[in-house]
Structure 1
Amino acid sequence: MSFDSLGLDAEILKAIQEQNYTAPTPIQQQAIPVILSGKDLMASAQTGTGKTAGFGLPILQKWVEQQAQATNKLEAKKGKRPLYALILAPTRELAAQIGENIREYSRYLPIRSLVVFGGVSINPQMMKLRGGVDVLIATPGRLLDLVQQNAVDLSTIKMLVLDEADRMLDMGFIHDIRRVIAKLPKKRQNLMFSATFSDEIKVLAQSILHAPELVAVAKTNSASEQITQYVHRVDKRRKRELLSYLIGKNQWQQVLVFTRTKYGANHLAEQLTKDGIKAAAIHGNKSQGARTKALADFKSGQIRALVATDIAARGLDIELLPYVVNYELPQVAEDYVHRIGRTGRAQNEGQAISLVCIDELPQLKAIEKLIKKTIPELTTQGFEVDPKIKAEPIKKSSQRRVPPKRGSANSSRSPQFNQNGVKSSSRHNHTKNKQPN
């Protein structure tokens, strides 16, 4: 199948050809015809499968068709641009990425799109909305702020997209979503995309979607086959030491590292930098400017390790990201699938390594049950697990949306490393099994 066969406008086809899109991905092949038919859609797709184009391209196509059918030319001349489509995303990074994609796909169309999210001044967003917008990409909180300020009219919406709906629920946005939906016209087309479909998601879908078509391009709650997964057992007080060693010995140049808490992300980034591995942290307490700079530096290679919490990393689209490390396993098994989905995107291969201490064995068991496979183990000489250490319970966050500020005990004082990740004060360690390159 080709994009030409999907019935897209010539100007849209021209734009996606310039993006080097050769053929639609499975999610695009299945979702685009359903959306163009006007039906509601409930789609399950892993990250990195091209789902943004899966809903973005048909939205643009339907907007083009509506413009061609418009009869009230006078209204258009007055500059009144009723909002046509609303795309809700859980995080600033994901909203920004979607907005960038929409701009790329619509570069030859006279359409206006806008991204709005918190953490930045609301006034410029209000000014742009007054100028007229066709497609709005928003995080729920900032959108409701704009509604309260009477800066946006949602009564004209023809299409609603909930992207990464599972993450919306995880972050506690269910009430915000319902408040937004209450302000939309009852007659509209609804599209829901989610990497996982829990019972909560199904309940939400039943309240929003009308006789939806179901599309799934991979097994629900499964990781991409392009991602090679490993578990490395290690005592929690030696995790940072092991991470520095692996990065240095294997000469990893671009590593996305996940921690459970904001404090843990800050502390680990500082310790890695002291080890000679330039790192930066990205999480919800960072300003939008700091988050944007850290991501730009990571993409350009100025920093080797980007340490992130789940919320901040959601929606990060890093081309050809080779490595993801779970410094700490997530509290919820489904988040493991989201995390490692940052690599192995768009037909590229990637590797995901989880550093697992004895406290986290229950989480590992839950993850393996979810993905229906046993993750192979790696061992490194000198980092063997001490059998005398007993498991301790992991403190859970009171709210998944706001991780606790207190740091974990996983990072402690340990030997320093040079820029190559080699311990400076003792003999070099040697791997027992071959490490991923």
Structure 2
Amino acid sequence: MGQKRARDPKAQVAEANKRKKAAKSDAASSDDYGSLGVDDLNWKEVAMPDRMDDAEGFFGLEEIEGVDIIKQGDGGVQFKAKAGKPTKSIIKPPSEDDGDEWAGFSDEDSSKKSPATEKTPAATKVKEDKKSKKDKKKEQNKTKKDEQNSKEQKPKESKAAQSQSIKAGLSFAALDDVEEDDGVDVSAWDGLNLSPETFTALSKMKFSSPSAIQKASIPAILDGHDVVGKASTGSGKTLAFGIPIIEHYLDQRGKQEGQSDKSEKNKSPIALILSPTRELAHQLGKHIGELIANSPDTNARVALITGGMSIQKQQRQLATADIVIGTPGRVWEILSTGTGLIRKMQKIQFLVVDEADRLLSEGHFKEMEHILNALDKHQAGDIADMDEEEEEEEPSNRQTLVFSATFHKDLQQKLAGKSRWTSGEMLDNKESMEYLLKKLNFREEKPKFIDVNPESQMAVGLKEGIVECPAMEKDLYLYSVLLYYPKHRTLIFTNSISAVRRITQLLQALQLPVFALHSNMAQKARLRSIERFSSPTANPSSILVATDVAARGLDIKGVNCIIHYHVPRTADAYVHRSGRTARAGESGKSILICAPDEVVGVARLAGKIHSKKTKKAEDSNGPSKKIPLESLDIDRRVVARLRPRMSLAKRITDSTIAKEKVNTEDNWLRAAADDLGVEYDSDEFDQSKGRGRGRGGGRERREKEASELSKSEMAGLRAELKQLLSQRVNIGVSEKYLTAGRIDIDALLRGEGNDAFLGHLDPLTF
């Protein structure tokens, strides 16, 4: 029976040495074969039993016949032709692939080769065995897969990572696949005197030219001035203060490289950036982190200090942080622990107050004031041992940078007040500076005030409109507006958390892709909602229902429409809400849904926001009571067709909320009864409470009826609503629409009228 072996690629290196000896013996005498090595035999592949002509062999096995095994004293074996068998038939024939292994290019002259390199080919190092066809196919498939994966990962890999992979052993063909740097031309930044690292980052981030606020602020900050920057939302304020901070870090990097690990842990941050909301703090961290990641050899560490996250982890991050970004509440909570952090924070070179009008306004200034006082006072020990009599005021050695879209106290006044609004109450820049100087301890007596806001408080590409509706049909008109813009990413603002919860469930019942965001949500849930809403792969018709927690600073790309379900309490809130769209020169819509009892508030809002426009109208035409917002008309026939849908959706939503409320209340009462050791009876409790009588009895009665809907009744309502949602809403086109030239007739003939809703490119015709 023939001898068999399994090809083991790992043994090839060891076998190469044996082949040298065999080659020498072959060279000594071509007729004297004697004992042969395992790799000198003419092995043949074992064919598949049912596929004898298959060239790929049987699981990689090889066989040979007509040889005897000779055992040697050292435990090895040799092979020899059996008696009567031709010796040449068992010897592996010479291969074209056999020969010297290529050892790469050499710097030495070929004429200076050593005698060892001038030996005959039989005495040189023999190349490894020729691979079988099966192994070749496997290797080819693997190579194709690796090339395909490298092409797919190439856009995600940095140029440095690609160069490292080439150094790791890729073939020369891989050099041709490396893409050129896809950065943009950043020559427009030349006048700002930035470092090469920052230029590289800006090129990779595709910022070809600085915005107005960046062009004006960066040189002033690099020159060491305190800066108050005022610019509209979406104008690039984050990089306006982020770039100078990174430039300062790069300047100090040489001094920090020689520090030991111990001093590294005890170093002080160079900047503290405060923001009013967690979402804005996370966004600032993301943008500045991206700037650092794209700057070569820039290893600045960013610590994100916000609520809803592990305070122990944040304390560890703060110990080695170069830049601290956080909300005042959590920052003060960590600083006031008495662990010496305040002393480290007093050494910061930059204090940045983002969205300063919110942080410095009444009701939001308490923690901010504690932080500022702690940074400005010399302390002999930890805050726990601080003696007020020993504290000494010291002049601030840090730069204070203040940025916001609005600084006018007039905009922060409640719109619901009884005082009559006028169009000339806006604070000028001087009064705004006086307001800030009272709150902040600037290093300079007169900080540099930079105002790049246009005359109007609103973005240039923003269209503002108002939809008037009955007080009890706000939900219906909200749903109508959403259907008028079916492929718009929409952000809906309300004034209460309960409204966010109710509207979210209502729109979900109507099978719309909707997410919620409010301050009572867990931090992970809040971030998840923003991610699902803003993701590039998200539904283009996504809807986010939020309180004013989403009104500040969030840079969400692709927001086409802002809907104010409730009129904002202040004009300042309206500016920031509407600033979530029409960012960076894009266009967008801001729509107010106004009930009759909100008309006065809307009039005051319009007067404060569009004071200059109103003043010009009064100067030209005399006093005018007209609100400077476009009134948007919704076809009442469309509203009538949507009313049955809304009625069913509201019943389903009210029942769900009522059941949740009853269960929550019932669980609380049961727990209280167990603590008191008494028996709980819900019916008896309702009777003793007098539910259903007096003021508010009607609402409680409706909630109770809604909570008593059975599962079968709920299933019936859902089935009926599903059937209505499958029906066409579009009512067709009347002659007056056709003659007005506002209809795309070709689109209607192609059957696209329903998608565009009456064929309008902008159905509400701003």
Query: Which bin holds the TM-score, normalised by the shorter protein?
Result: 0.7 to 0.9
Q: How far apart, CA to CA, are the structure 1 residues paired with 2:554 and 2:471?
A: 27
C-alpha change, 1:38 and 1:291, in structure 2 (3 Å) is: same
Q: Does 1:217 align with 2:452?
A: yes
Contact residue 517 and residue 544 of structure 2 kept, 8 A: yes
Cα separation, 2, equivalents of 1:421 and 1:145: 53
Matched residue SS, 1:184 = helix
Please state how far the C-alpha of 1:315 moved relative to its aligned partner: 2.7
Q: Which residue of 2 aligns with 1:335?
A: 573
Choose from 245, 248, 256 the match for 1:62: 248
The match for 1:101 is 287
Instruction: Tell me if structure 2 keeps the 8 A contact 1:244–1:277.
Output: no
The residue number in structure 2 matching 1:155 is 346
Give how far 1:421 is off.
Answer: 10
1:297 to 515, 520, 532: 532
Report SS of the residue matched to 1:38. coil
Aligned pair in 2 of structure 1 residues 426, 252: CA closer, same or farther (>3 Å)?
closer
Aligned to 1:125: 314
- Structure 2 partner of 1:196: 406
Letter in 2 for 1:205: L
The aligned runs of 1:254-403 (5 Å cut-off) are: 254-300=489-535, 301-302=538-539, 304-372=542-610, 373=613, 374-382=628-636
Offset, 1:269: 0.9
- CA RMSD in angstroms, aligned pairs only: 3.1
TM-score normalised over the length of structure 1: 0.85
**Residues matched between the structures, number:** 409
| Structure 2 residue aligned with 1:435 | 764
Match of 2:328 among 123, 140, 152: 140
What amino acid is aligned across from residue 435 of structure 1 in structure 2? L
Classify 1:265/1:151 alpha carbon distance in 2 versus 1 (closer, same or farther; 3 Å): farther
Separation of aligned partners in 1, 2:336 and 2:219? 36
Deviates more, 1:235-244 or 1:167-176: 167-176
- Whichever structure has more helix as a proportion of its residues is 2
| 1:80-134 alpha-carbon deviations (Å, 9 max, x no partner) | 321110000000000000011111111231211111100122111111122x111
Contact 1:255 1:306 in 2 (8 A): yes
* TM-score between both structures, scaled by the size of structure 2: 0.50
Q: Contact 2:488 / 2:542 at 8 angstroms: preserved in 1? A: yes
Distance 1:361 1:384 in 2: 24
TM-fit CA distance, 1:156: 1.0
What does residue 401 of structure 1 align with? Answer: none
Q: Distance in 1 between matches of 2:262 and 2:200?
A: 27
1:12 CA displacement = 1.4
Output the CA distance in 1 between the equivalents of 2:724 and 2:230.
40
- Identity fraction in percent: 30
Q: Supply the distance in 1 between the matched residues of 2:475 and 2:315 (Cα, whole angstroms).
A: 45
| Equivalent pair of 1:254/1:304 in contact (CA under 8 Å) | yes
Change in CA separation of 1:426 and 1:230 when aligned onto 2, cut-off 3 Å: closer
Distance in 1 of aligned mates of 2:240 and 2:632:
37
Cα distance in 2, alignment partners of residues 287 and 421 from structure 1: 35
Q: Is it true that 1:13 corresponds to 2:267 in the alignment?
A: no
Instruction: Name 2:363's counterpart in structure 1.
Output: 172
Question: In the superposition, relative to structure 1, how do residues 221 and 144 fare at CA in structure 2: closer, same or farther (>3 Å)?
Answer: farther
Matches within 5 A, 1:384-423: none
CA contact (8 A) 1:83 1:136 kept: yes
Q: 2:216 aligns with which of 30, 55, 58?
A: 30
Give the secondary-structure state (helix, strand or coil) at the position aligned to 1:244. helix
Structure 1 counterpart of 2:367, one-letter code: D
1:193 to 1:265, Cα distance in 2 relative to 1, 3 A: same
Which of 227, 236, 249 is matched with 1:41 structurally? 227
8 Å CA contact retained: 1:47, 1:195:
yes
Q: Distance in 1 between matches of 2:558 and 2:224?
A: 35
Q: Distance in 2 between matches of 1:420 and 1:158?
A: 64
**Structure 1 residues 74 and 258: CA distance shift in structure 2, 3 A:** closer
| Cα 1:426–1:311 shift into 2, 3 Å | closer
| C-alpha distance in 2 between matches for 1:418 and 1:167 | 43
Match of residue 737 from structure 2: none
**Deviation at residue 423 of structure 1 after TM alignment:** 9.7
Superposed CA deviations along residues 395-421 of structure 1, whole A, max 9, x for unmatched, are xxxxxxxxxxxxxx9xx99x9997999
Partner of residue 711, structure 2: none
Change beyond 3 A, Cα 1:67–1:423: same
Shift of residue 277 of structure 1?
Answer: 1.1
Could you give the per-residue CA deviations for residues 199-233 of structure 1, whole angstroms, max 9, x where no partner exists?
49642334423311111111477010111111111
Say if 1:247 and 1:421, in contact at 8 Å, map to a contact too.
no
1:221–1:334 Cα contact (<8 Å) kept:
no
How far the C-alpha of 1:327 sits from its partner, in A, is: 1.0
Change (3 A) 1:171 1:286: farther
Output one character per residue of 1:228-268: Cα deviation in whole Å (capped at 9) or x when no partner: 11111112322221221222233134100000111111111
* Larger Cα-atom Rg: 2
The corresponding residue for 2:437 is 205
Whichever residue aligns with residue 317 of structure 1, its letter is D
Matches of 2:723 and 2:480, distance apart in 1: 8
More relative contact order in 1 or in 2 (CA 8 Å, sep 6+)? 1
What is the one-letter code of the residue matched to 2:436? L
Distance 2:373 2:723 in 1: 56
C-alpha separation between the residues in 1 aligned to 2:721 and 2:603? Answer: 35
The verdict on how the C-alpha distance between 1:421 and 1:293 changes in structure 2, with shifts beyond 3 A counting, is farther
What secondary structure is seen at the aligned counterpart in 1 of 2:345? coil
Distance between the aligned counterparts of 2:723 and 2:449, measured in 1?
49
CA drift at 1:422: 6.7
Partners of 1:421 and 1:345 in 2: CA distance: 37
Mapped partners of 2:196, 2:543: distance in 1 = 41
CA 1:247–1:38 in structure 2 vs 1: closer, same or farther (change >3 Å)? same
| Closer/same/farther in 2, CA of residues 98 and 221 from structure 1, 3 Å limit | farther
8 Å CA contact 1:230, 1:353 repeated in 2: yes
Task: Identify if the C-alpha distance between structure 1 residues 310 and 151 changes in structure 2 by more than 3 Å, giving closer, same or farther.
Answer: farther
Distance 1:2 1:420 in 2: 58
Go from structure 1 to structure 2 and tell me whether the alpha carbon gap of 1:175 and 1:245 turns closer, same or farther (over 3 Å shift).
same
Post-superposition shift, 1:384?
11
Contact 1:318–1:342 under 8 Å retained in 2: yes
